[in-house]
C-alpha cells in the first residue's frame, strides 16, 4: 500500500528524533570515557606510574664487603677474597640429575655440597640461582664457560668470602663467620634486612661475633626489572653498600705465632699483656683449629673430630677456661693479710708439713715441712702451711675482696666469646650455691688457690699486671676502628699499700732467683731483663690418707686427665715492668717443670720482639734452647697491609 506524503513526513521526523537521541547517548558515553581517560592519564598519572613501576621493578639488597681485621702492626688477620662458584637455575637446566651429571664430567663435584644444593633447590623458586660448587678454581670456571652450550642453566659466578690468611694462629681470638641460621635469628635482636639474604654470613664466635654490627657494614641496592612471574629481565641501576669498619686489634702477630708454636701439642693456654696500657698482645690456646673450614660449612667428620678431642681444640682456654689457680693465688692471700695487718713481712711461721684442724690435716707439698718461714720465703718455696695460717687470721671475705681488687672473680669486657668470670667464693656464695655453711677448712683450701677458687689465664695475667705496677690495669683488645684510636684512660692506682706490694714483688723475684727457688731453672740471665714470677700446681683429684701413707702417686704414673694442672705467672723486667705473662698447661704436672719454661720463653720473645739470643739463657741450657728454637714452626715475617680504613 502506497504511503501518503504526510505519513512519510511523520516517519522521517520520528527517525531523526531517534537518531538524535542515540547520537546524544553515544556522545555522552564518549565524553564520559574521554573524561575518565583524562583523569587516569593526567590527573592520576603519577600514582599509576608508581603502581606500574612497583609491579615491574624490584629492589634487591647487595651484601657489603665485611670489615677487615688487623693486628697492632697492620698485619691482615681476617680479610675477604674473591670466591668463584658454579650456580644452577632449575628452570633453565631441565632435568636436574642429568644437568649435574653433565657438570660432573667437566669438573669435580663434592657429594655433600650437591646434597646441600638439592635441598636448597626444594626451598627456592625455580628461577633462583643455587650454588652447586663453591670455591672452585679459575680453571674450573674456564671449563664451565667453554662447555656452556652443553650446560644449560649452569654458569660461573664471582663473589666475596671471608678468609683467614694465618689460619689457626688467631682462631680463638677472631672466631669465624658462617651463614645465618634460624637459631641465630631467634636469639638476635636485629632487624637488619641483610640477615634475610640466603646464606648471608655473620660472625659466629670471637671478635667476628662480638663486633658483628661494626664489621657487617650496610647493604647496597640494585633495581632490577622482572616479568609477571618474578623472573629477572635486566638490571636498571645499582648503589653499592658501605663496607664494614676495619678493626685493628692490640694482638701482635709474630708474638701470637710464637706463643702458639711454643705451646705446641699441649692442652694449654698463655696470655701476654702490656702492663702499662693493658693491651692484650697474645691470647694463645692449644690445640687450635682452622677457621677457614667453618666459612662455608665444615664437614661432619671434621667437626666431630674437633668435638671428640679430649684436648678441646674448639675452646678458647685463655679466656673461657677456668682452673684452680693453685699457688699463683698465694700473692692474693699474702696481700689480704698484709693489708689487714695480721702479719708483716718479717714474721715467721713454723711449717711442720701440715696444719691440723679439728680431725683433719691440711698438708704442705713438702712432706717434712719448711721450718720457720717468713713472707718472702713462703713465696720462694711455695710453703702451704704459711698460707693456712694467714687464712685463719684474715678470713675468706677479705681474701675474696683482695682477689677482686686484683682482677679475679669478674668478667672483663673484651670482644671475645664466653669470657669466664671465674670464682672467688664467700660465705654467702656457698650457702646459696652449695646449701651449706662455710667452714674454716674452706678458707684454708682457698688460701692456696684450691677448693672453690677458679681463675682463667686472662685473669691471672691481669692479676700479675696489677701486682707488678700497683695500678688497676684494664685489659684492652681493640686498638682502633677505621683508623681512629680507641680512647685510653691511664689506669688508677690500686688501693693497696705500696710497701705491701713491694714485699710480694720481692717474694716473686725470689721465686726465680733465690736459693731453693721453685722456678730457678727458668730464670733469665740477660742484664735488665730479669723476671719475677710464681709457680702453681693445682690438684684435680683428692689424695687419700692411705695414699699419703704409702707415698703420693707421681703425675707421670697417673692417666693424663688425673694429673695436676701446671701454672706460672710472671712479669719482666722486675725493676721496670713491661709485660705480664700467664701460662696454664692442663694436666701438665708441676708448674715449675711444665709451665715456667714456656712462660720464660714467651717473655723473652716479647722483650726482644723476636727470637732472643742464647745469651739470655743460663749457659747450661743453651744447647737445649737452640734445639727448641730450631724445632719451632714459626712463620716468616709478614709485611703490614697498607691502609687500614674501610675495605
Q: Which residues are catalytic?
A: 327
* Dmax (CA) of the chain: 158
Rounded CA Rg of the chain: 37
Note whether 270 and 263 are within 8 A (CB).
yes
- Return the sign of the alpha-carbon dihedral for residues 167, 455, 505, 576: positive
Q: Let me know how long the chain is.
A: 647
By C-alpha distance, which of 365, 364, 344 is closest to 355?
364
**430 CB contacts (<8 Å, ≥6 apart)?**
436, 437, 438, 442, 452
- Return the sign of the alpha-carbon dihedral for residues 320, 322, 327, 331: positive
**380 CB contacts (<8 Å, ≥6 apart)?**
507, 510, 511, 514, 515, 516, 517, 518
By C-alpha distance, which of 637, 616, 636, 639 is closest to 626?
616
Note whether 456 and 420 are within 8 A (CB).
yes
In eight-state DSSP terms, residue 217 is -
Identify any residues that bridge with 201 across adjacent strands, giving them in sequence order.
179
Task: Annotate 546-583 with three-state secondary structure.
Answer: HHHHHCCCCHHHCCHHHCCEEEEEEEECCCCCCEEEEE
Cell numbers 637459631 label which residue?
Answer: 183
What SS3 state is found at 511? helix
Cell numbers 699419703 label which residue?
Answer: 548
CA 541 to chain centre: 31
Amino acid at each position: 500500500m502506497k504511503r501518503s506524503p504526510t505519513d512519510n513526513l511523520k516517519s522521517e521526523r520520528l527517525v531523526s528524533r531517534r537518531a538524535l537521541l542515540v547520537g546524544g547517548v553515544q556522545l555522552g558515553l564518549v565524553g564520559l570515557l574521554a573524561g575518565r581517560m583524562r583523569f587516569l592519564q593526567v590527573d592520576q598519572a603519577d600514582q599509576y606510574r608508581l603502581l606500574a613501576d612497583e609491579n615491574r621493578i624490584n629492589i634487591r639488597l647487595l651484601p657489603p664487603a665485611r670489615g677487615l681485621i688487623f693486628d697492632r702492626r697492620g698485619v691482615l688477620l681476617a680479610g675477604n677474597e674473591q670466591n668463584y662458584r658454579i650456580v644452577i637455575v632449575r628452570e633453565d637446566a631441565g632435568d636436574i640429575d642429568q644437568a649435574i651429571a653433565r657438570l660432573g664430567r667437566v669438573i669435580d663435584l663434592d657429594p655433600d655440597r650437591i646434597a646441600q644444593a638439592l635441598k636448597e633447590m626444594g626451598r627456592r623458586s625455580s628461577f633462583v640461582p643455587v650454588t652447586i660448587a663453591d670455591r672452585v678454581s679459575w680453571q674450573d670456571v674456564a671449563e664451565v664457560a667453554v662447555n656452556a652450550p652443553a650446560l644449560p642453566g649452569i654458569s660461573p659466578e664471582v663473589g666475596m668470602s671471608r678468609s683467614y690468611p694465618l689460619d689457626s694462629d688467631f682462631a680463638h681470638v677472631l672466631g669465624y663467620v658462617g651463614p645465618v641460621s634460624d637459631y641465630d635469628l631467634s636469639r638476635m635482636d636485629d632487624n637488619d634486612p641483610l640477615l634475610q639474604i640466603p646464606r648471608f654470613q655473620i660472625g659466629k664466635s670471637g671478635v667476628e661475633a662480638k663486633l658483628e654490627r661494626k664489621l657487617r657494614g650496610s647493604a647496597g641496592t640494585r633495581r632490577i626489572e622482572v616479568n609477571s612471574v618474578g623472573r629477572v629481565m635486566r638490571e636498571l641501576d645499582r648503589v653499592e653498600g658501605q663496607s664494614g669498619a676495619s678493626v685493628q686489634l692490640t694482638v701482635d702477630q709474630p708474638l701470637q705465632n710464637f706463643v702458639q708454636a711454643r705451646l705446641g701439642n699441649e692442652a694449654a693456654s698463655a696470655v701476654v699483656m702490656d702492663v702499662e696500657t693493658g693491651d692484650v698482645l697474645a691470647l694463645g690456646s692449644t690445640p687450635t683449629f682452622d677457621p677457614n673450614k667453618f666459612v662455608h660449612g665444615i664437614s661432619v667428620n671434621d667437626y666431630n673430630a674437633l668435638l671428640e678431642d679430649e684436648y678441646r681444640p674448639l675452646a678458647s682456654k685463655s679466656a673461657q677456661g677456668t682452673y684452680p689457680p693453685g699457688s699463683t693465688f698465694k700473692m692474693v692471700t699474702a696481700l689480704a693479710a698484709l693489708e689487714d695487718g695480721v702479719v708483716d713481712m718479717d714474721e715467721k711461721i713454723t711449717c711442720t708439713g701440715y696444719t691440723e684442724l679439728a680431725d683433719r690435716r691440711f698438708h704442705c707439698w713438702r712432706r717434712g715441712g719448711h721450718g720457720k718461714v717468713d713472707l718472702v720465703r713462703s713465696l720462694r718455696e711455695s710453703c702451704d702451711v704459711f698460707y693456712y695460717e694467714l687464712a685463719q687470721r684474715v678470713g675468706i671475705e677479705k681474701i675474696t675482696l683482695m682477689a677482686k681488687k686484683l682482677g679475679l672473680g669478674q668478667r672483663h669486657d673484651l670482644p671475645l666469646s664466653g669470657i669466664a668470670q671465674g670464682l672467688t667464693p664467700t660465705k654467702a656464695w656457698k650457702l646459696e650455691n652449695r646449701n651449706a655453711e662455710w667452714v674454716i677448712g674452706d678458707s684454708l683450701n682457698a688460701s692456696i688457690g684450691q677448693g672453690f677458687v677458679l681463675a682463667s689465664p686472662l685473669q691471672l695475667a691481669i692479676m700479675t699486671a696489677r701486682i707488678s705496677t700497683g695500678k688497676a690495669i684494664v685489659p684492652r683488645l681493640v686498638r682502633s676502628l677505621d683508623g681512629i684510636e680507641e680512647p685510653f684512660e691511664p689506669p688508677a692506682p690500686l688501693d693497696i699499700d705500696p710497701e705491701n706490694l713491694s714485699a710480694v714483688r720481692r717474694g716473686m723475684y725470689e721465686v726465680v732467683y733465690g736459693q731453693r727457688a721453685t722456678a730457678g731453672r727458668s730464670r733469665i740471665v740477660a742484664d735488665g731483663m730479669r723476671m719475677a714470677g710464681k709457680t702453681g700446681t693445682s690438684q684435680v683429684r683428692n689424695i687419700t690418707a692411705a695414699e699419703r701413707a704409702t707415698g703420693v702417686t707421681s703425675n707421670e704414673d697417673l692417666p693424663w686427665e688425673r694429673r695436676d694442672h701446671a701454672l706460672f705467672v710472671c712479669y719482666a723486667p722486675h725493676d721496670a715492668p713491661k709485660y705480664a705473662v700467664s701460662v696454664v698447661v692442663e694436666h701438665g704436672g708441676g708448674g715449675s717443670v711444665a709451665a715456667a719454661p714456656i712462660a720464660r720463653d714467651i717473655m723473652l720473645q716479647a722483650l726482644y720482639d723476636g727470637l732472643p739470643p742464647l745469651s739470655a739463657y743460663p749457659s747450661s741450657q743453651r744447647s737445649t734452647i737452640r734445639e727448641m728454637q730450631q724445632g719451632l714452626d714459626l712463620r716468616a715475617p709478614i709485611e703490614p697491609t697498607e691502609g687500614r680504613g674501610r675495605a
